[in-house]
Chain A
Amino acid sequence: MKNFRVTQQEIVLVVFVALFAICSVFLNGFLTTDNILTLLQNVAVLGILGLAMAIVVIGRGIDISLIAALAVPPGLVLQLVQYGYTLPFAISLGLGIAIIFGLVNGWLIAYAEVPSLFATLATGIFFAGLGQAFLFELEVVQWSEGMNGFEWLGQGSLLGVPMPIVMFGIACLAVAFLLRRTRVGAYIYAIGDNLAASRVTGIPVRPIVVLQYVLAALIGCFAGLVLASSVNSMPTRIYSSTLIYDVILVVVLGGIGLSGGKGGVINVILGTLLIGTMLNSMTIMDLPYAAQNLFKGIVLLIAVIADTLLNPRNEETAQQGDI
Chain B
Amino acid sequence: MTDTVISLEKATKLYSGVAAIEDIDFDLWRGEIHALVGENGAGKSTLTKVMAGVVTLSSGTMKIDGKEAAPSTPLEARHLGVAMVFQENSLVPTMTVAQNLFLGQERYFNRLRGINIAAQQFLQSLNFDVSPTAVVDTLGAAKKQMVEIARAVLHKAKVIIFDEPTASLTPEERKYFFDLVRNLKGRGVSIIFISHALEEALELADRITVLRDSKAVVTDDAANFDRARIVKAMVGRDLSDTLYGTKKTTVRRAGKRVLTIQNLKMAPMVKNNSLSVFAGQVTGVFGLVGAGRTETFKIVAGVIKRDFFHGGEVILHQKPVRYRVPAPAIKAGIAYITEDRKAEGFFETFSIARNIYLGLLAKFPKGRAILSKREQTQAGSNWIERLNVRAIGDAAKMIELSGGNQQKVVIAKSLVQEPDIIIFDEPTRGVDVGAIEEIHELINRLADEGKAVVMISSYLPEVMGLSDRILVSRQGKVVEELSALEATEEKIMYAAIH
Contacts and interface: CB of A to CB of B under 8 A. Distances in A.
A59 to B, nearest CB: 13
Contacts of B303: 199-200
A317 B16 CA distance: 8
Contact of B350 (A182, A193, A323): A193
A199 B350 contact: no
A186 B399 contact: no
Contacts of A318: 342
Contacts of A202: 326-327, 329-331, 359, 362-363, 417
B344 interface: yes
B358 A190 contact: yes
Contacts of A243: none
Interface residues of B, number: 49
B200 interface: no
A203 B347 contact: no
Interface in B341-394: 341-350, 354, 357-359, 361-363, 365, 368-371
Given A202-B326, A323-B45, A197 B345 contact: yes
A321 interface: yes
A317 B401 CA distance: 12
B145 to A, nearest CB: 21
Interface string B318-330: 0000000111011
Contacts, number: 109
A187 B340 CA distance: 21
A317 B14 CA distance: 12
A323 B46 contact: yes
A196 to B, nearest CB: 4
B474 interface: no
B476 interface: no
Contacts of B330: 201-202
A73 to B, nearest CB: 27
B273 to A, nearest CB: 21
Interface string A203-217: 111100000000000
A200 B336 contact: yes
A316 B399 CA distance: 12
A183 B369 contact: yes
B348 A194 contact: yes
A183 B45 contact: no
Interface string A153-196: 00000000000000000000000000011111111011001101
Given A183-B368, A183-B369, A202-B362, A323 B41 contact: yes
Contact of B45 (A182, A198, A205, A322): A322
Interface string A82-117: 000000000000000000000000000000000000
Nearest to A206: B325
B413 A201 contact: yes
Interface in A230-263: 261-262
B20 interface: yes
Contacts of A204: 325, 327
Interface string A46-82: 0000000000000000000000000000000000000
B403 A193 contact: no
Contacts of B347: 189-190, 193-194, 197-198, 261
Given A199-B303, A203-B358, A320 B344 contact: no
A186 B358 contact: yes
B429 A321 contact: yes
Contacts of B115: none
A263 B344 CA distance: 22
Contacts of B16: 317, 320
B439 interface: no
B135 to A, nearest CB: 26
B430 A322 contact: yes
B55 interface: yes
B338 interface: yes
Contacts of B109: none
A178 to B, nearest CB: 11
Interface in B393-441: 399, 403, 406, 413, 417, 429-430
Contact of B370 (A182, A187, A189, A198): A182
Nearest to B18: A323
A200 B419 CA distance: 14
B108 interface: no
21 contacts: A183-B361, A183-B368, A183-B369, A184-B369, A186-B357, A186-B371, A187-B358, A194-B347, A200-B344, A201-B326, A201-B330, A201-B359, A202-B329, A202-B331, A203-B327, A203-B361, A204-B325, A320-B342, A321-B406, A321-B430, A323-B403
Interface of B: 15-16, 18, 20, 41, 43, 45-46, 55, 301, 303, 325-327, 329-331, 336, 338, 340-350, 354, 357-359, 361-363, 365, 368-371, 399, 403, 406, 413, 417, 429-430
Given A181-B370, A200-B338, 19 more contacts: A186-B357, A194-B347, A197-B343, A197-B345, A197-B347, A198-B347, A198-B358, A199-B325, A202-B359, A203-B327, A204-B325, A261-B347, A316-B55, A318-B342, A320-B15, A322-B45, A323-B15, A323-B20, A323-B41
Closest 10 CB pairs of A and B: A202-B330, A202-B362, A196-B344, A193-B347, A323-B20, A321-B342, A202-B327, A321-B430, A200-B344, A203-B362
